[in-house]
Amino acid sequence: MKRPAFDDIFMHLAIELAERSHCVKAHVGAVLAKDTRIISIGYNGPPAGTHNCDEEWPEHGCARDSKGSCSLALHAEENAILYAVKNGASLEGSSLYITLSPCLPCARIIFTSGIKKVHYLKSYAEYKGLPSDEGVDFLRKFGVDVVKYEPVGSF
C-alpha cells in the first residue's frame, strides 16, 4: 500500500474544507502546515458571528463592493492566518495549501506573515478573468516559493 504524500494530504484537506464555505459564488479552502503538522485551517466566508451568505441571500450572495467582490467574506487564507495568529502560532517558514491562488491583498498578508511556500490548485486569474495571477507574481518577486499543485501520490 502506497502512503500518500503530505502535499496530497494537505491539499485534499483544503479541498474538503472548501465544501464548508457559506459563499454563494466560490468555495475555497486553505491549510497552513509546518514540518508535516497542521497549524491552522480556513475556508472563505463571513466572519464568525455575522451572516451566512447562503442562508441570508441564497440567490445572489452578499452585496458586492466597488470592485465586484464580496463585501462580507474573508478569503480562506485570511481565515487560516487570522485564526493561527489569534491562537499565538508562528507562521514563519510554514506552507500554505489553497484551492485557489491568492489575490494580491492576500499575497501581501501571506508574505508579511512569514509563509515560505504556497501550493495552489486553481488560478485566481482564470477564475476572475484577469490577465495574470498578481498574487502569485508578487509572492515570487519577494522570494516565496509558489507552485501549482500537481498530485505527488495518489488521492
Which residues on adjacent β-strands are paired with residue 148? Answer: 120
Do the annotations mark residue 103 as ligand-binding?
A: yes
Do the annotations mark residue 62 as ligand-binding?
A: no
Residues annotated as part of the active site: 77
As a whole number of angstroms, the distance between CA 34 and CA 48 comes to 25
As a whole number of angstroms, the distance between CA 88 and CA 91 comes to 9
As a whole number of angstroms, the distance between CA 131 and CA 123 comes to 11
From residue 51, how far is each of 19, 26, 41, 71 by CA, in Å?
A: 17, 16, 20, 12
Could you tell me where the beta strands, DSSP code E, fall in the chain?
29-34, 37-43, 95-100, 117-122, 145-148
CA quadruple 119, 108, 81, 57: dihedral positive or negative?
Answer: negative
Do the annotations mark residue 22 as ligand-binding?
A: no
Give phi and psi for 81, each to the nearest 5: -65, -45
**Annotated binding-site ranges:** 75, 103, 106
**Annotated binding-site ranges for Zn(2+):** 75, 103, 106
